[in-house]
Structure 1
Amino acid sequence: MSNRVAKELADFLLQIEQRSQFHAGYPYNLSCDYSVIAKFFNFLLNNAGDPYIEPDFGLHSRMFEQEVLSFFAHLYKIPENQFWGYVTAGGTEGNLYGMFLAREIYPSGILYSSQDSHYSISKAAKLFCIKHNVVNSQINGEINYEHFEDLINKNSNYPAIINLNIGTTVKGAIDNLDKVLEILERNQVKDYYLHCDAALSGLILPFLDGAPQVHFQKPIDSIAISAKFIGSPLPCGVVLTKKKWVEKVETAIEYIGSTDTTILGSRNGHTPLILWYALQTRGYDGLAREAKTCIHNAQYLFQQLKIREYPCMLNNFSNTVVFQKPSQKLIKKWQLAIFENWAHIIVMQNIEREKIDTFINELLLHQRLVNNSEDFQLQPLVH
C-alpha cells in the first residue's frame, strides 16, 4: 500500500472517529464492536435466493440468517411453520416488500398511509402502481383516525392496504393498531392488508412494560424492522410476513438452484452474520436493558429541556425528542435532523447522560448568544 493511500485512509478514519462522537440526530447505535467477526469480510458471502432453500452456491450464511429470523418470529409471536422472512438491506427494502406482497394479493387495493410515514411508502406506491391516499397526521405525528375513517368509508368497496407507523421517522409516533382495526370492522372492510413500518421501534416496543401490542397474534400481515437499534456497520434489517403470502409471489430460478422470493436477487451474506452475533452476545435480556435505558435517557433529555422552558415534545414509548431548531452551528456539530422549525435527537445507546448534559449546556449557551439577553441564565444540570 502506497504512502498516499495509507494517509488518505488514516485521515478518513480520524474524521469518522471524530464525527461519531457528535452524532445525535439519526437513529444509529454506534456502540457496537464487531471486530471478532471482521475476518469474514475477507470472504464473499452471497445469500442469493430464498433464505430457507439450500442453493448449489456454497458461499452463503443462510444458517445464521435462519436463526436471526427465528428470533424475530418469536419476538413477534408467529409460529415457525406460519412465518417467512429474510434479512434485508434496511427498513426501506422491508417496506417495499410489504407493499409488493399487498399489491400482489389485492391488485385493486388502495394504499393508506399518514403524512408522517417514511418516504419509502410513497416510493413503493409509485413503483408498484398502487393508488395512494395520504391520511392527515395529528400534531404528535400519529395518524388522524377520523380522516382515515372518512377515506375508508368513501372507498369501502376496494381492498385496503394500510401502512401503520410503529415509530414515525421525525416524531417517533405510534399509530394505534387496535383503533385501525375497529375502523375497518365498523366500515365492514373484509379485504385488507396491514403492513407495519417498525424500522426503529420494532426492537424497542417489545421490551417495554405497558407499550402497545403489535404482533402477529393480531391480524397484521407484514412488519419491517431496521437493524439501527441493534447496530451494524452495514445497513440492514428484517422483514417478516406470513408464509402463505410469499407462496403467491415465489418463482423457481434454475440458475441459482433456489426460488426468487425477495426484492433483491443477490443479498448481503455478511449482515445476517452481524445480526446473529449481536443477538447471541446480547440476547433478549441485553436488548431489553438497552431499550429501557434509551427510553429513560430520552425522558431525561425531555425533562431537562422542559425545566428550561425550551419548546420540546416526546411521544410515549419513544426515544425521539423533538425540540425547537437551534443554531446552524449546533445542527452541524451534533448532526441533527431538522424539519421546518424543529429538530430532533434520537437517543440511542451511544447518547448517554453525560453527552446529553454537554448538549444541553451548548444549546443554552448558543441560545443565550443568539438572544443576546443578559437575563438568560444557564441552569445547573441535576441527574
Structure 2
Amino acid sequence: MQIEQRSQLHAGYPYNLSCDYSAIGKFFNFLLNNAGDPYIEPDFGLHSRKFEQEVLSFFAELYKIPENQFWGYVTAGGTEGNLYGMFLAREIYPDGILYSSQDSHYSIPKAAKLFRIQHNIVNSQINGEMNYDHFEKLISENRNYPAIINLNIGTTVKGAIDNLDKVLEILERNQIKDYYIHCDAALSGLILPFLDGAPQVNFQKPIDSIAISAKFIGSPLPCGVVLTKKKWVEKVETAIEYIGSSDTTILGSRNGHTPLILWYAIKTRGYDGLAKEAKTCIDNAQYLFQQLKIREYPCMLNKFSNTVVFQKPSQRLIKKWQLAIYENWVHIIVMQNIDRHKIDTFVNELLLEEGLVDNVENFQLQSALH
C-alpha cells in the first residue's frame, strides 16, 4: 500500500506517525459535530463536548492559565488557531498594526489579508528568530497605534523561538500600552513545556492567545487547540438560536472526533509520557545534527528544537524522504517515528549520494568512531 510505504520514509514534515487509535475506532461509525461553543450544551446530542473540555483543561494547566480565566476550542489545525488569534486581536484593536517576522507561518499574512489588518513584516535573524532591533524600529515609528504581535514559538522552517521577554522589554521601553500578543506554537507548543531550561511561554506572562497543532501529539485527522482569555471571547460572542449555542469559533460545524482523539492520547500517555517523547525527539535531533556536523556537512539546529536544517541534497533523496525545501536548504523534523536507526539510514544514503563516503562499511566505521 502506497500510504504505508510513504509513511516509512517521511522525515521533512512535523507529523508524529507513531500513533494507534484503533481502540476508539468504533466512534467513527457515528457522526460527531461540535458546532458552536465547546462550553454550551447545544440542542443536538451528537457531539463530544465533554471530551473537548477535558482536553482544553489539560492545555490550560500546561500553559498556566486558571480555569475561570481561559477559553479555547479544538481547531482544525494550527492555521485556524492563528486565524482565531488574529481575529480576536482585530476585534479588540480595530486600528492595530500586526507585526510578524519573515519566518512566520504563511497563515499570518493570510490572516492579515482576511481581516484587513495593516501588516508590518519584521526582518529575521539568520537562525530564523525575529530581529529585535528592526522590530523596535517599526514599533517606535508607529507608537501611536496598538500593536498586534505574532510570536513564533518554533518557526516553520528553522524551529526558531522568538524571545517573549525581549519583545515585552521593547514594548515597555517604547511605552506601548495597547498590545495583543499571539503565540504561534504549532509544533513546539507540545515540546517546550516539557524541557528543562526552555523559554517560559505561558499565560503567567502577558500573552493573549496561543495556537498549538496536534502534530506532535499525533492524530490521523489534522487538528489543534487554541487558548485565549475568556474576557476577549466575550467581546465577539453571538447567540445562535438555530443551534442553541453561541458562535464563538471560526468554523461553524467542527469535527467531533478530533477532541476524542486528543483526549485518548492525553489519557493513555499522560504528562510523563509526552515529556519523555519530547526529550527523546530533542535528543535524536541532536544526534542527527552531530552526525552531519562531524562530517562537515552544512547544517544548523536551534536550541530546544527538533528541526535539523541542512544543505539541499539530490532531488532523488528529497523525493524519497519527503524533505521540506527552503531555498538551498532542507530540513528533517525529528518526530517520534524518526529513531536513530532511521537517522543512520538517511545519513548513510546522504553521504553516499554526495560522494562523502565510499561504502556502507566506511560509514559504519566512522559512526562507531564518533
| Normalised-by-shorter TM-score class | over 0.9
Cα distance in 1, alignment partners of residues 227 and 366 from structure 2: 47
Determine whether 1:253 maps to 2:253: no
Counterpart of 2:199, as a letter, is P
Determine whether 1:110 maps to 2:97: yes
1:84-112: CA deviation from partner (whole Å, max 9, x where unpaired): 00000000000000000000000000000
Could you say which residue in structure 1 is the equivalent of 2:347? 360
Counterpart of 2:333, as a letter, is I
Could you say which residue in structure 2 is the equivalent of 1:85? 72
Cα distance in 1, alignment partners of residues 246 and 213 from structure 2: 24
User: Per-residue deviation at 1:266?
Assistant: 0.5
1:326-366: CA deviation from partner (whole Å, max 9, x where unpaired): 00000000000011100000000000000000000000000
Cα distance in 2, alignment partners of residues 132 and 123 from structure 1: 10
Determine whether 1:178 maps to 2:188: no
Cα distance in 2, alignment partners of residues 231 and 260 from structure 1: 28
SS at 1:153 equivalent = helix
User: Per-residue deviation at 1:201?
Assistant: 0.1
SS at 2:159 equivalent = coil
User: Per-residue deviation at 1:373?
Assistant: 9.1
Determine whether 1:290 maps to 2:272: no
1:193-229: CA deviation from partner (whole Å, max 9, x where unpaired): 0000000000000000000000000000000000000
Determine whether 1:157 maps to 2:157: no
Structure 2 unmatched ranges of 5 or more: none
1:11-69: CA deviation from partner (whole Å, max 9, x where unpaired): xxx10000000000000000000001111111000000000000011000000000000
Determine whether 1:321 maps to 2:313: no
> Of the candidates 195, 199, 202, which is equivalent to residue 212 of structure 1?
199
User: Per-residue deviation at 1:380?
Assistant: 2.6
Counterpart of 1:380, as a letter, is Q
CA RMSD of aligned residues (A): 1.2
Correspondence 1:132-147 to 2 at 5 A: 132-147=119-134
Determine whether 1:345 maps to 2:332: yes
SS at 2:242 equivalent = helix
Q: TM-score, normalised by structure 2?
A: 0.98
User: Per-residue deviation at 1:161?
Assistant: 0.0
Could you say which residue in structure 2 is the equivalent of 1:8? none
Counterpart of 1:188, as a letter, is Q
> Of the candidates 29, 43, 50, which is equivalent to residue 30 of structure 2?
43
Could you say which residue in structure 1 is the equivalent of 2:291? 304
User: Per-residue deviation at 1:294?
Assistant: 0.1
Counterpart of 2:367, as a letter, is L
Q: TM-score, normalised by structure 1?
A: 0.94
Cα distance in 1, alignment partners of residues 156 and 244 from structure 2: 39
Counterpart of 1:224, as a letter, is A
SS at 2:14 equivalent = coil
Could you say which residue in structure 1 is the equivalent of 2:367? 381
Could you say which residue in structure 2 is the equivalent of 1:96? 83
Could you say which residue in structure 1 is the equivalent of 2:256? 269
Counterpart of 1:341, as a letter, is N
User: Per-residue deviation at 1:295?
Assistant: 0.1
SS at 2:111 equivalent = helix
SS at 1:219 equivalent = coil
> Of the candidates 15, 27, 45, which is equivalent to residue 14 of structure 2?
27
Q: Is the 8 A contact 2:74 2:226 kept in 1?
A: yes
Q: Is the 8 A contact 2:351 2:357 kept in 1?
A: no
Cα distance in 2, alignment partners of residues 165 and 339 from structure 1: 18
SS at 1:255 equivalent = coil
1:132-170: CA deviation from partner (whole Å, max 9, x where unpaired): 000000000000000000000000000000000000000
Cα distance in 2, alignment partners of residues 265 and 17 from structure 1: 33
Could you say which residue in structure 2 is the equivalent of 1:3? none
Moved over 3 A (4+): 371-374
Cα distance in 2, alignment partners of residues 116 and 329 from structure 1: 27
Cα distance in 1, alignment partners of residues 231 and 68 from structure 2: 10
Determine whether 1:70 maps to 2:62: no
1:248-301: CA deviation from partner (whole Å, max 9, x where unpaired): 001000000000000000000000000000000000000000000000000000
User: Per-residue deviation at 1:381?
Assistant: 1.8
Cα distance in 1, alignment partners of residues 330 and 108 from structure 2: 22
Could you say which residue in structure 1 is the equivalent of 2:178? 191
Determine whether 1:280 maps to 2:293: no
Counterpart of 1:277, as a letter, is Y
Cα distance in 2, alignment partners of residues 263 and 352 from structure 1: 37
Q: Percent identity?
A: 88
SS at 1:231 equivalent = coil
In structure 2, the CA distance between the partners of 1:281 and 1:373, relative to structure 1 (3 Å rule), is: closer
User: Per-residue deviation at 1:372?
Assistant: 11
